[in-house]
């Protein structure tokens, strides 16, 4: 079993723990309201960061969206570090997944599309982490507008690819798991986006919760690649060294590897 399986496991362990640490720091510094707080006001006499007492006055500027949790220092520094490091790990995982599919089967449209969307998602995540919403709103929303849809498209492509390449019951079970996670992520993303554009305090807060759910599901989805990465070897890296040209390109991935030349040659040729 390859040690490469540690890589997809480390991504959700690092990112999920990291964003919850950022949330805890933002909560400690009173930069956002707690997740369990559903009471908001149009305005407050004092800013949240200077308020004291068991009951806090919160406005929509204090909704605990992930981006809001990482918009002010010191938590903004950790948020940028987590997003940048997570983006790098995502790029490596996506690249190894691409090479592993070529090594074990052959290249196809689904595999190439998965590589492209995964890397685009990583680029958007870097923008989200390094352009805080309160200081560079346009660039932050551009990054979010890139990262969220492409991450959703990536898990859809990988779910379809898992089913396409499945041969054993274990591989089909993994396809079922990924399909279920993809469905839950899609529901969470849609609800988060719909609630985010509403003016209701309750719906804005619900949007933040669904955003957290979506991000956690996506990170856990990457963790499921440990199932395939146990078979990553030096030959997988050689596929990358060759430019991913092993096997003939195909519109649909095939379960069996590309066969060699036929063993039965015409008699006229064999006599030569």
| Mean pLDDT, residues 66-87 taken together | 96
Q: Domain coordinates of the chain in residue numbers? A: 3-245
User: pLDDT band at 55, cuts 50/70/90?
Assistant: confident
* Of 237 and 167, more confident: 167
Q: Let me know the angle formed at the C-alpha of 21 by 20 and 25, rounded to the nearest 5 degrees.
A: 115
| Mean pLDDT, residues 9-26 taken together | 97
| Mean pLDDT, residues 37-62 taken together | 89
Q: Which of 34-43, 216-225, 226-235, 262-271 is most confident? A: 216-225
In this predicted structure, what is the pLDDT of residue 251? 57
In this predicted structure, what is the pLDDT of residue 237? 81
In this predicted structure, what is the pLDDT of residue 250? 56
| Mean pLDDT, residues 126-149 taken together | 95
C-beta separation of 2 from 237 below 8 A: no
C-beta separation of 97 from 228 below 8 A: yes
In this predicted structure, what is the pLDDT of residue 234? 79
C-beta separation of 107 from 249 below 8 A: yes
In this predicted structure, what is the pLDDT of residue 104? 83
Q: For residue 167, count other CB atoms closer than 10 A to its CB.
A: 10
**Three-class DSSP labels, the chain:** CCHHHHHHHHHHHHHHHHHHHHHHHHHHCCCCCCCCCCCCCCCCCCCHHHCCCCCCCCCHHHCCCHHHHCCCCCHHHHHHHHHHHHHHHHHHHHHHHHHHHHHHCCCEHHHHHHHHHHHHHHHHHHHHHHCCCCCCHHHHHHHHHHHHHHHHHHHHHHHHHHHHHCCCHHHHHHHHHHHHHHHHHHHHHHHHHHHHCCCCHHHHHHHHHHHHHHHHHHHHHHHCCHHHHCCCCHHHHHHHHCCCCCCCCECCCCCCCCCCCCCCCCHHHHCC
Spatial separation of the C-alpha atoms in residues 245 and 248, rounded to whole Å: 7
In this predicted structure, what is the pLDDT of residue 100? 92
> Taking all residues of the chain, what is their mean pLDDT, rounded to a whole number?
89
User: pLDDT band at 65, cuts 50/70/90?
Assistant: very high
Q: Give tens-digit pLDDT for 170-218.
A: 999 999 999 999 999 999 999 999 999 998 999 999 999 999 999 999 9
Closest CA to 11 of 71, 94, 73: 94
Spatial separation of the C-alpha atoms in residues 62 and 70, rounded to whole Å: 12
Q: Give tens-digit pLDDT for 103-127.
A: 888 888 999 999 999 999 999 999 9
| Mean pLDDT, residues 153-160 taken together | 97
| Mean pLDDT, residues 138-147 taken together | 96
In this predicted structure, what is the pLDDT of residue 271? 37
| Mean pLDDT, residues 20-36 taken together | 95
| Mean pLDDT, residues 249-256 taken together | 59
Residues 6+ positions from 270 with CB-CB distance below 8 Å: none
Spatial separation of the C-alpha atoms in residues 201 and 149, rounded to whole Å: 25
């Amino acid at each position: 079993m390859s040690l490469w399986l540690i890589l997809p496991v480390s991504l959700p362990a690092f990112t999920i723990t990291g964003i919850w640490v950022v949330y805890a720091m933002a909560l400690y510094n009173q930069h956002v309201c707690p997740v369990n707080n559903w009471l908001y006001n149009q305005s407050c006499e004092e800013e949240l960061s200077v308020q004291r007492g068991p009951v806090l006055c919160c406005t929509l500027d204090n909704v605990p969206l992930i981006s809001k949790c990482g918009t002010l220092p010191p938590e903004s520094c950790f948020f940028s570090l987590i997003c940048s490091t997570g983006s790098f790990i995502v790029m490596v995982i996506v690249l190894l997944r691409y090479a592993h599919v070529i090594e074990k089967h052959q290249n196809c449209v689904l595999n190439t599309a998965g590589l492209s969307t995964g890397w685009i998602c990583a680029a958007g995540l870097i923008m989200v982490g390094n352009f805080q919403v309160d200081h560079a709103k346009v660039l932050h929303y551009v990054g979010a507008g890139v990262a969220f849809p492409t991450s959703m498209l990536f898990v859809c492509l990988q779910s379809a690819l898992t089913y396409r390449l499945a041969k054993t019951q274990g591989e089909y079970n993994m396809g079922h798991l990924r399909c279920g996670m993809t469905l839950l992520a899609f529901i969470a993303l849609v609800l988060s986006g719909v609630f985010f554009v509403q003016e209701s305090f309750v719906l804005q807060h619900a949007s933040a919760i669904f955003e957290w759910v979506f991000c956690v599901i996506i990170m856990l989805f990457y963790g499921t690649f440990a199932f395939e990465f146990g078979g990553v070897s030096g030959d997988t890296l050689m596929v990358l060294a060759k430019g991913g040209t092993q096997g003939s390109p195909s519109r649909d991935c095939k379960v069996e590897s590309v066969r060699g030349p036929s063993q039965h040659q015409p008699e006229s040729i064999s006599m030569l």
